[in-house]
DNA sequence: CTGTCTACTCTTGTATACAAAAATATGTTT
DNA sequence: AAACATATTTTTGTATACAAGAGTAGACAG
């Protein structure tokens, strides 16, 4: 075999901008709770911590502000967004609607491959639930929902739903620690899958709304399980 | 009355950042069609045009990218976002859902003041429609929808719905030029208002979905009425 | 001792400078 | 003449420098 000199290097170049990396890192730190709501985000401080200049830090902060994860006030710097109980409720309300919409559309548009992917994801959830592995269920649950978004065949909806889910993930994490929550979640998935496989859009929509919505006791339980600093005391 | 020396100047300081101004200007230029989809956004060029340095230009571009109005590829600059027919359809689909949700929530949560505001906005629409004033109807319509968002009492939903409406406004503008579109729009508003006033959430939701959704002939008409350059020919 | 004014410091917002990657043009080879 | 390789130019990404507003602490008056 004679030598092959690649015309164009297929190896992905360092297609990496510092600003993007930073955005990612900070996003993770915020969502994981390492940076707490209300915490100040000093540009020079972050620059020093990450070993870069203020320029990429500022760019990262701007993007985080656009996604609502941080708040920037003119000439007063950025802080990790503080969320009131009301804010949280409203975001969950929208989340439920978007996910329900995904389910409705998926029931109509899903193809065999996607159908299989959802079934598989559901099975993985079942396994994780049976072995009482919260971490595994958390991940499998995410895959299940992602598969559903894909089935809706609406890239815009998929993108928005995903980013809202991401935004809320920090608050949802604690939900699974409730006794019986995993079993209930799984049962709700079951209902969604059944409706999906039957092609019943309305049933799928309702099942999903029920699954995602935070209503009745579920809401107060969710709030109560949150670490104190996650919520702002007074109204915005 | 003796002189009042205001302790703290109530006059709003130049709370203006160049980057924010630029974002606003560029947004307007894009939404108005002055900058066409696919058009290159050269940083130095924009800086020179607006008489500022590249720094605020970059910050403005980053924010526009976050809102989806422009697309930035690493080290290849920014272009006004190109939208395919499919993209457009998907965004309208989500729009219909969000507005329908607003209507449903508003039917349950609206207060007398908001009720009056919606009624008033509806009357203004009627007047504009009767006088065949497209510009006036366009504005009154916006006020009507805004009043509805407020009635839903969900700030997050309001924000997201408004920004999507804004994003689509460029494409919607041409819709009103269709013969009979104004009359039909007004009739649909009427249905929404009736359901709202009756407190019938389901009816309000359905009426609004019908109003906002672009279905059947309406969609092909919308597409056909768009100036050619508004849409990308091939798939993304 | 308290409240207000002022000077100072710190942080943000913007401009400029520099490095590296794309895009473009030029020249060479077959 | 076409295609490839190389040099040049242009543009983006990052760092640094500078200006101006916000926050802070200290001095002074009541």
Give the ipTM of the model, two decimals please.
0.89
Question: Do both A70 and A107 map to the same domain?
Answer: no
Question: Do both A46 and A98 map to the same domain?
Answer: no
pLDDT digit string, tens, across residues B134-175? 999 999 999 999 999 999 999 999 999 999 999 998 888 888
Q: How many domains would you assign to chain A? A: 2
Percent of chain B whose predicted confidence (pLDDT) is above 70: 92
Compute the distance between CA of residue B148 and CA of residue B117 in angstroms, rounded to an integer.
9
Question: Do both B188 and B99 map to the same domain?
Answer: yes
- Burial classification of residue B46, based on how many CB atoms lie within 10 Å of its CB (0-12 exposed, 13-18 middle, 19 or more buried): buried
Asked if the model's pLDDT at residue B95 lies above 80, the reply is yes
Q: Which of B95, B94, B35 is nearest to B69 (CA)?
A: B35
Question: Do both B55 and B130 map to the same domain?
Answer: no
The CATH number given to whatever domain includes residue A148 is 1.20.120.530
CA distances from B186 to B128, B183, B234 (A): 10, 5, 35
Six token digits for residue A129: 């639930």
Predicted confidence at residue B178, as pLDDT, reads 84
Which of A49-53, A168-172, B37-41, B88-92 shows the lowest mean pLDDT across its residues?
A: A168-172
Average pLDDT of chain A is 90
Predicted confidence at residue A233, as pLDDT, reads 60
Top residue of B53, B57, B156 to mutate, by most chain A CBs within 10 Å, is: B156
Return the higher-pLDDT residue of A11 and B32: B32
The pLDDT of A180-184, averaged and rounded, is 91
Predicted confidence at residue A178, as pLDDT, reads 84
Q: Does B154 touch chain A (CB under 8 A)?
A: yes
Question: Do both B26 and B125 map to the same domain?
Answer: no
Q: How far is A110 from chain B (nearest CA, A)?
A: 16
* CB B56 within 7 Å, strand C: yes
Using only C-alpha atoms, what is the Rg of chain B?
A: 21
Predicted confidence at residue B179, as pLDDT, reads 85
Predicted confidence at residue B213, as pLDDT, reads 92
User: Which region, left, alpha or beta, applies to residue B226 given φ > 0 means left and ψ of -120 to 50 means alpha?
Assistant: beta
Task: Look up residue A142 and give its DSSP letter.
Answer: H
- Nearest nucleotide over every DNA/RNA strand to the A17 CA, judged by C1': D13
- The 10 Å Cβ neighbour count of residue A165 is 18
The answer to whether position B116 is within a domain reads yes
- Burial classification of residue A102, based on how many CB atoms lie within 10 Å of its CB (0-12 exposed, 13-18 middle, 19 or more buried): buried
Question: Do both A95 and A170 map to the same domain?
Answer: yes
pLDDT digit string, tens, across residues A135-156? 999 999 999 999 999 999 999 9
Residue nearest to nucleotide C12 (CA to C1'): A75
Asked if the model's pLDDT at residue B216 lies above 70, the reply is yes
CB contact under 8 A, A94 and B62: no
Asked if the model's pLDDT at residue A171 lies above 80, the reply is yes
Six token digits for residue A7: 């015309």
- Nearest nucleotide over every DNA/RNA strand to the B53 CA, judged by C1': C15
Q: Does A12 touch chain B (CB under 8 A)?
A: no
Asked if the model's pLDDT at residue A236 lies above 60, the reply is no
Residue A124 and residue A140 in contact, taking contact as beta carbons nearer than 8 Å: yes
The CATH number given to whatever domain includes residue B73 is 1.10.10.10
Question: Do both A190 and A167 map to the same domain?
Answer: yes
pLDDT digit string, tens, across residues A105-133? 999 999 999 999 999 999 999 999 999 99
Predicted confidence at residue B12, as pLDDT, reads 40
Question: Do both B136 and B180 map to the same domain?
Answer: yes
Compute the distance between CA of residue B54 and CA of residue B41 in angstroms, rounded to an integer.
12
Predicted confidence at residue A170, as pLDDT, reads 83
Predicted confidence at residue A20, as pLDDT, reads 96
Compute the distance between CA of residue A41 and CA of residue A210 in angstroms, rounded to an integer.
37
Q: Give the residue from A46, A80, A114 where a domain finishes.
A: A80
Question: Do both A113 and A189 map to the same domain?
Answer: yes
Six token digits for residue A1: 């075999």
The answer to whether position B6 is within a domain reads no
User: CA-based angle A98:A101:A102, to the nearest 5?
Assistant: 90
pLDDT digit string, tens, across residues B129-143? 999 999 999 999 999
Six token digits for residue B156: 């997050």
Show the domain range for B59.
Answer: 18-80
pLDDT category at A235 given cuts 50, 70, 90 is very low
Predicted confidence at residue B198, as pLDDT, reads 97
* CB B91 within 7 Å, strand C: no
Compute the distance between CA of residue B121 and CA of residue B107 in angstroms, rounded to an integer.
16
Closest CB to B156 among A63, A87, A160 = A87
Asked if the model's pLDDT at residue B4 lies above 70, the reply is no
pLDDT digit string, tens, across residues A185-224? 999 999 999 999 999 999 999 999 999 998 778 888 888 8
pLDDT category at A14 given cuts 50, 70, 90 is low
Beta bridge partners of B71: B79
Question: Do both B75 and B91 map to the same domain?
Answer: no
Question: Do both A68 and A162 map to the same domain?
Answer: no
CB-CB neighbors (< 8 A) of B67 in chain A:
66
């Amino acid at each position: 075999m004679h030598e092959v000199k690649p015309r164009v290097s297929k190896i992905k170049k360092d297609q990496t901008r510092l600003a993007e990396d930073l955005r990612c890192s900070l996003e993770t730190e915020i969502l994981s709770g390492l940076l707490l709501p209300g915490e100040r985000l000093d540009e020079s401080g972050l620059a020093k911590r990450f070993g870069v200049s203020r320029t990429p830090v500022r760019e990262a902060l701007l993007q985080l502000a656009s996604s609502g994860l941080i708040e920037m006030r003119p000439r007063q710097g950025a802080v990790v967004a503080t969320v009131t109980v009301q804010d949280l409720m409203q975001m969950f309300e929208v989340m439920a609607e978007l996910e329900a919409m995904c389910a409705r559309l998926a029931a109509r548009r899903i193809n065999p491959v996607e159908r299989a992917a959802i079934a598989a994801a559901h099975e993985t959830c079942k396994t994780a639930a049976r072995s009482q592995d919260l971490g595994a269920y958390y991940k499998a649950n995410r895959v299940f929902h992602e598969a559903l978004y894909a089935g809706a065949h609406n890239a815009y909806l998929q993108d928005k739903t995903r980013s809202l889910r991401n935004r809320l993930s920090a608050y949802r994490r604690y939900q699974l620690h409730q006794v019986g929550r995993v079993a209930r979640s799984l049962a709700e998935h079951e209902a969604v899958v059944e409706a999906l496989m039957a092609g019943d859009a309305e049933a799928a929509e309702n099942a999903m709304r029920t699954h995602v919505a935070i209503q009745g006791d579920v809401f107060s339980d969710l709030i109560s399980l949150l670490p104190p600093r996650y919520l702002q005391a007074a109204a915005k």
